[in-house]
Each structure stands twice: as structure tokens, then as C-alpha cells.
């Protein structure tokens, strides 16, 4: 009798083990689902740096930056996360917009065209194989960034085929520079999430 109970117990444990294994097969992939995103960074000296990162599905560009291994400074503001610094270009988190002439512009690549982001790095969720760009740049009188990243596909980012540097041009005239400096005082209290609204106000004026 005891031997029969032992056999039934072993059979029950084996069934439970199989069930646990089947559940693990169905649940684990959902928990571990990641997407790959390409990042293209252009520093103030024209140096281009690219990296492919993996983030959880539904993660934001801020998550991608934090996972990149780059020396990134991101500040939490009332508008959400704001990109303050990458490498030597930018400002500390407690004074994210200390530079009155330049800041980090954020871009989305669509096909062969870069488009300035309409929100901040904490509000956008890249899809798999998306390419997100960042340039340390001044702005024109309409608050349009003067420096765009080079057009590099996700496949090229993954293969390390981006150019090492790009020309950094677009010096402003005295009048434009004065307007940008004045606007920078306002931009200093905003995160990148408020950039588009300010640009639209300038165009309407």
C-alpha cells in the first residue's frame, strides 16, 4: 500500500513539474520581450557616435539613453525627463539648461528624413529597430535646431557604418543670436517636452 502511494505521489510531482515547465515557456518570453533601438549622437565638435540598445517593450527613449552606456545626464522636471548632457556637452541635472546658446535636440528618423521630436525623451516609446537622434546644437530664430544627425539606418547603426564626424555649421548672425539667447532664458525652465509649443508661439508672433 505504501509503495502504491509513493508511486502516485511521484506521478503527481512529475505532472506538476511538467505543468510548471509549460507555464514557464509561455510566461517567460512575455516577461523578457525586448526591442532593439539605434541611437545616433552628434557632439558639439561634429563627432558622431552610434549604439544599439535593448529596452523592454514599451520603454521610453530615456530608458534607451540610460541603457546605452554613454555618459548621460537626465533631469526629472515638471515636464518629464529632460536630456541635460551627453559626454562633455551639456549641463548638470540641477541646472539642465545652463547653456544659453545650445542644448540637446532630439530627433526621430523616418525613412531618410530626420524630424525634430515633438516631445521629450521620457514621453516617446521607440518601436523595434527605430533610430533616435541627438545633436548638441544652437537654434535659429524659429527655434529650429541647426544641426541634424547624419541619416543612418538601423542596419547601418548595427553594423557600425555611421560616419565618424559631420561638419558642424550654421553660425548665427548677431540679431539671430540675440533672439536665441533671449529665448534660451525661457527654454531654461522648460524640458524638451515644451520645445514645440514655444516654437509654434514664435512662428505665430
**Model confidence pLDDT, tens digit, residues 16-55:** 454 454 544 454 444 557 999 999 999 999 999 999 999 9
Cβ pair 61, 80 in contact under 8 A: no
**Model confidence pLDDT, tens digit, residues 47-63:** 999 999 999 999 999 99
Cβ pair 145, 135 in contact under 8 A: yes
Cα dist. 177→78, 96, 134, 185 in Å?
Answer: 28, 20, 22, 13
The reply to whether 90 and 44 lie within a common domain is yes
Domain count, the chain: 2
The reply to whether 104 and 5 lie within a common domain is no
The pLDDT assigned to 18 comes to: 46
The reply to whether 13 and 93 lie within a common domain is no
More confident call, 80 vs 180: 80
The pLDDT assigned to 79 comes to: 85
The reply to whether 73 and 110 lie within a common domain is yes
Please, which pLDDT band fits residue 10 given cuts at 50, 70 and 90? low
The pLDDT assigned to 78 comes to: 87
The reply to whether 67 and 85 lie within a common domain is yes
CATH classification at residue 119: 2.170.130.30
The reply to whether 12 and 82 lie within a common domain is no
Residue 96, CB half-sphere, CA atoms under 13 Å: how many? 22
As a whole number, the mean pLDDT across the chain is: 79
**Model confidence pLDDT, tens digit, residues 121-164:** 999 999 999 999 999 999 998 889 999 999 999 999 999 999 99
The reply to whether 61 and 2 lie within a common domain is no
The pLDDT assigned to 95 comes to: 96
The reply to whether 91 and 157 lie within a common domain is yes
Tell me which of 106-110, 134-138, 179-183 is least confident: 179-183
The reply to whether 9 and 63 lie within a common domain is no
The reply to whether 101 and 11 lie within a common domain is no
The reply to whether 92 and 28 lie within a common domain is no
Q: What angle do CA 119, 49, 157 make, to 5 degrees?
A: 85
The pLDDT assigned to 72 comes to: 98
The reply to whether 6 and 57 lie within a common domain is no
Please, which pLDDT band fits residue 99 given cuts at 50, 70 and 90? very high
Please, which pLDDT band fits residue 173 given cuts at 50, 70 and 90? very low
Tell me the residue range of the domain where 90 lies.
Answer: 34-204
Percent of the chain with pLDDT over 70: 66
Percent of the chain with pLDDT over 90: 62
Amino acid at each position: 500500500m505504501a509503495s502504491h502511494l509513493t508511486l502516485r505521489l511521484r506521478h503527481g510531482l512529475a505532472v506538476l513539474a511538467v505543468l510548471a515547465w509549460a507555464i514557464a515557456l509561455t510566461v517567460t518570453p512575455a516577461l523578457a520581450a525586448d526591442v532593439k533601438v539605434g541611437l545616433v549622437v552628434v557632439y558639439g565638435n561634429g563627432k558622431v557616435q552610434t549604439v544599439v540598445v535593448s529596452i523592454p517593450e514599451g520603454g521610453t527613449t530615456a530608458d534607451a539613453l540610460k541603457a546605452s552606456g554613454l555618459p548621460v545626464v537626465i533631469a526629472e522636471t515638471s515636464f518629464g525627463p529632460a536630456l541635460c548632457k551627453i559626454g562633455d556637452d551639456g549641463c548638470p541635472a540641477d541646472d539642465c539648461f545652463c547653456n544659453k546658446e545650445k542644448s540637446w535636440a532630439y530627433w526621430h528618423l523616418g525613412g531618410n528624413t530626420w524630424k525634430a521630436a515633438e516631445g521629450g525623451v521620457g514621453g516617446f516609446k521607440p518601436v523595434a529597430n527605430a533610430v533616435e537622434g541627438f545633436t548638441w546644437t544652437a537654434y535659429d530664430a524659429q527655434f529650429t535646431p541647426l544641426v541634424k544627425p547624419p541619416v543612418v539606418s538601423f542596419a547601418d547603426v548595427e553594423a557600425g557604418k555611421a560616419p565618424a564626424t559631420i561638419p558642424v555649421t550654421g553660425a548665427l548672425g548677431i540679431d539671430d543670436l540675440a533672439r536665441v539667447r533671449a529665448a534660451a532664458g525661457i527654454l531654461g525652465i522648460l524640458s524638451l517636452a515644451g520645445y514645440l509649443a514655444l516654437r509654434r508661439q514664435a512662428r505665430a508672433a
